[in-house]
């Protein structure tokens, strides 16, 4: 697992270039895809109100969340220790990971799995996060240590790693509480809440610090995902 995701750091730029011709640029596909996504979200809301969702942890203490860009990538030894720490925490809280592809899109893939029941919808999630960043510049610009337009342009590219600024934008856009179980030494759990709104859903992710995100479920409840046909992809 560690080798696959560690190599993702070196290949992120290549992945972004190879993916630049994706159907994000097709307005007709966007319209059809948005209708499909709307139907999935409506079904997810129906299930939530039926009481079949929400089997999540509620007793963990969270620290205040401050959006930030990606920090330093740990060296190989620290990364191994971080991963072992995360695995121990997940076992303690009876959580299990649905493994997310390590292609530079892992944050958006993990969010897509939680929101839409499949990581292949990651381009839809990225598109709406970028819209949120563009539309509400005043909310996020202060956390970005570079020209904001360049940052937004960078985040639009497939294969570009998401950070805690994009997590905040996702929480705001989808009105979701994002629950992050981390490998940080001093921080086990972070809640990212939408600004000025009550969350309508919870999204649970694991964060192998600065390296990889996976989608979280209770142990024994990790779903089996079939790869979708190409015409379903965004």
| For the ranges 13-17, 41-45, 131-135, the one whose mean pLDDT is highest | 131-135
Backbone Cα Rg of the chain: 17
Q: Are 74 and 80 in contact (CB under 8 A)?
A: no
Q: Would you place residue 194 in the very low, low, confident or very high pLDDT band (cuts 50, 70, 90)?
A: very high
Please give the structure tokens belonging to residue 36.
């499909």
CA atoms within 13 Å, Cβ hemisphere of 179: 20
Separation CA 5–CA 107 (nearest Å): 12
Average pLDDT value over all residues in the chain: 79
User: Which residue in 33, 82, 103, 163 is the catalytic one?
Assistant: 103
Q: Are 179 and 189 in contact (CB under 8 A)?
A: yes
Domain extents for the chain?
A: 2-232
Task: Specify whether the backbone of 37 is left (phi greater than 0), alpha (psi in -120 to 50) or beta.
Answer: alpha
In the DSSP assignment, the letter for residue 74 is: P
* DSSP code string of 123-180: HHHHHHHHHHHHHTHHHHGGG-SS-HHHHHHHHHSTTPPP-HHHHHHHHHHHTEEEEE
User: Which residue in 33, 82, 83, 106 is the catalytic one?
Assistant: 106
**Which of 27-31, 33-37, 53-57 shows the lowest per-residue confidence on average (mean pLDDT)?**
53-57
pLDDT attached to residue 181: 93
pLDDT attached to residue 77: 83
Contacts of 183 (CB under 8 A, 6+ apart): 82, 83, 85, 86, 89, 207, 208, 209
pLDDT (tens digit per residue) in 212-234: 999 999 999 999 887 654 434 33
pLDDT (tens digit per residue) in 79-136: 888 899 999 999 998 999 999 999 999 999 999 999 999 999 999 999 999 999 999 9
User: H helices within the chain, ranges in order?
Assistant: 2-18, 27-49, 76-92, 106-116, 122-135, 137-140, 148-156, 164-174
Q: Is 106 a catalytic residue?
A: yes
Residue 190 has pLDDT above 70, yes or no: yes
Q: Are 220 and 230 in contact (CB under 8 A)?
A: no
Candidates 3.20.20.70, 3.40.920.10, 3.90.1150.10, 3.90.70.80; correct CATH number of 2-232?
3.90.70.80
User: Which residue in 122, 128, 164, 212 is the catalytic one?
Assistant: 212
CA atoms within 13 Å, Cβ hemisphere of 187: 16
């Amino acid at each position: 697992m560690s080798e696959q995701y560690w190599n993702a750091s070196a290949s992120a730029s290549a992945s972004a270039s190879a993916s630049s011709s994706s159907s994000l640029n097709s307005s007709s596909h966007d319209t059809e895809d948005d209708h499909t996504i709307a139907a999935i979200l409506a079904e997810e809301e129906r299930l939530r109100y039926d009481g079949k969702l929400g089997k999540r942890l509620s007793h963990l203490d969270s620290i205040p969340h401050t959006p930030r860009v990606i920090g330093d990538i740990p060296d190989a030894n620290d990364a191994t220790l971080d991963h072992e720490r995360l695995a121990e925490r997940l076992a303690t809280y009876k959580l299990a990971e649905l493994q997310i592809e390590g292609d530079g899109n892992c944050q958006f893939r993990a969010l897509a799995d939680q929101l839409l029941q499949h990581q292949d919808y990651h381009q839809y999630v990225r598109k709406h996060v970028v819209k949120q960043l563009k539309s509400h510049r005043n909310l996020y610009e202060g956390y970005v240590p570079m020209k904001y337009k360049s940052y937004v342009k960078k985040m639009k590219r497939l294969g570009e790693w998401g950070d805690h600024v994009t997590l905040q934008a996702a929480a705001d856009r989808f009105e979701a509480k994002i629950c992050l179980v981390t490998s940080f030494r001093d921080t086990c759990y972070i809640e990212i809440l939408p600004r000025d709104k009550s969350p309508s859903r919870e999204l649970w992710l694991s964060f192998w610090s600065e390296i990889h995100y996976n989608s979280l479920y209770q142990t024994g409840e990790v779903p089996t995902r079939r790869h979708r046909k190409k015409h379903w992809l965004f």
